[in-house]
A and B are shown apart, each in its own frame.
Chain A
Amino acid sequence: GEDVEQSLFLSVREGDSSVINCTYTDSSSTYLYWYKQEPGAGLQLLTYIFSNMDMKQDQRLTVLLNKKDKHLSLRIADTQTGDSAIYFCAESLTTSGTYKYIFGTGTRLKVLA
């Protein structure tokens, strides 16, 4: 079945790096995504990685994908208080030309000043 899991909470000090992990079960994912959600707001796409890539870097964000272990991680360098939010990983699945997104459970990141 389709299942995406994340740890629920992460707390880091300002300036440190944050690493948020995600595991998924469906190996037919085409893309994997990281979204940020602030309280009471919609989702903001942070970055995404194509399933045949191992790593993608975008400014302070580094995405690592281990397809064999079905493990995705998001590293935020020099974490700031403004990074405090809930982070969701998601995978997109394609079936007969139809796209479907499966979201992870979300990781609440708290950055301590």
Chain B
Amino acid sequence: GAVVSQHPSWVICKSGTSVKIECRSLDFQATTMFWYRQFPKQSLMLMATSNEGSKATYEQGVEKDKFLINHASLTLSTLTVTSAHPEDSSFYICSVGTNEQFFGPGTRLTVL
């Protein structure tokens, strides 16, 4: 299956700063990547679908101006959490694939 990496694994930032999370598909050319958020002891919630060379598709209730997604190449998508607040603290996971999804290891964001 595809190998997906995320960077960083863990980030701690101050409230009001912006944080960029990278998702790389190491051996799979992904025209589409998915971003999920997982709060403690909860399920994964799809935030947005990242489309290579075009705008991301956001799920209902997800602010596109707060969670900026850029999918500049077939192997890299980035999620930028702008003006992060403590309530944005979560585990962010990306995935690639079609019928079978391959997940990255996740990025834990802690906003102080």
Q: Do A102 and B46 have beta carbons less than 8 Å apart?
A: yes
Chain A's interface: helix, strand, loop or mixed, by majority?
Answer: strand
For the complex, give the distance between the alpha carbons of A103 and B39 in Å. 13
The segment from A42-50, A55-63, A65-73, A77-85 found at the interface with B is A42-50
Q: A40-B108, A41-B105, A42-B104 are in contact. Are A99 and B99 (CB under 8 A)?
A: yes
CB < 8 Å neighbour of A105 from B42, B103, B104: B42
Max chain A Cβ within 10 angstroms of own Cβ: one of B46, B95, B99, B108: B99
Shortest beta-carbon distance, A43 to chain B, in Å? 4
Interface residues on B, range: 20 to 34
Q: Do B93 and A45 have beta carbons less than 8 Å apart?
A: no
Q: B45: which A residues are within 8 A, CB to CB? A: 103
CB < 8 Å neighbour of A43 from B42, B57, B100, B103: B103
Total cross-chain contacts (CB, 8 A): 52
Shortest beta-carbon distance, B51 to chain A, in Å? 9
Q: A residues near B, CB below 8 A? A: 30-31, 33, 35, 40-45, 48, 88, 92, 98-106
Q: A99: which B residues are within 8 A, CB to CB? A: 32, 98-99, 101
Q: B42: which A residues are within 8 A, CB to CB? A: 105-106
Closest-by-CB residue of A relative to B59 is A100
Q: A105: which B residues are within 8 A, CB to CB? A: 42-43
For the complex, give the distance between the alpha carbons of A101 and B45 in Å. 9
For the complex, give the distance between the alpha carbons of A99 and B105 in Å. 21
Q: Do B93 and A92 have beta carbons less than 8 Å apart?
A: no
Asked if B77 is at the interface (CB within 8 A of a chain A CB), the reply is no
Chain B 64-103, CB within 8 Å of chain A: the 1/0 string?
Answer: 0000000000000000000000000000010100111111
